[in-house]
Structure 1
Amino acid sequence: MEETREFRGISKRLAVQYLETLGGERADEVSDRIESDGWTAELSERTVNPVGSITLNEVRIHFEGDESTLGPVVERFAQKAMRAGG
Structure 2
Amino acid sequence: MRVEKSFRGISKRLATHYLGNLGGERIEGDPEGEGPVTVEGSDWTATLTAEKVDVAASIRLTEVTVVFEGEEETLPELVDDFSQKAMRAGG
**Do the structures match in fold with TM over 0.5?**
yes
Deviations 1:12-62 (A, max 9, x none): 000000000000001146471000111100000000111110111100000
| 1:32 and 2:37 correspond | yes
The residue aligned with 2:60 is 55
2:69 aligned with 1:64, yes or no? yes
- The structure where helix makes up a greater share of residues is 1
Provide the residue aligned with 1:85 in structure 2. Answer: 90
Q: Which amino acid aligns with 1:7?
A: F
**Moved >6 Å (runs of 4+):** none
Q: What are structure 1's unaligned runs of at least 5 residues?
A: none
Alignment check: 8 A CA contact 2:3 2:69 kept: yes
Alpha-carbon distance between aligned partners in 1 of 2:19 and 2:78, rounded to the nearest angstrom: 8
Q: Report the TM-score, using the length of structure 1 for normalisation.
A: 0.94
**Residues in 2 aligned to 1:22 and 1:56: alpha-carbon distance in whole angstroms:** 25
Partner of 2:11: 11
Corresponding position of 1:21 = 21
Q: Distance in 2 between matches of 1:78 and 1:2?
A: 15
RMSD: 1.2
Tell me the CA shift for residue 67 of structure 1. 1.2
Aligned length: 86
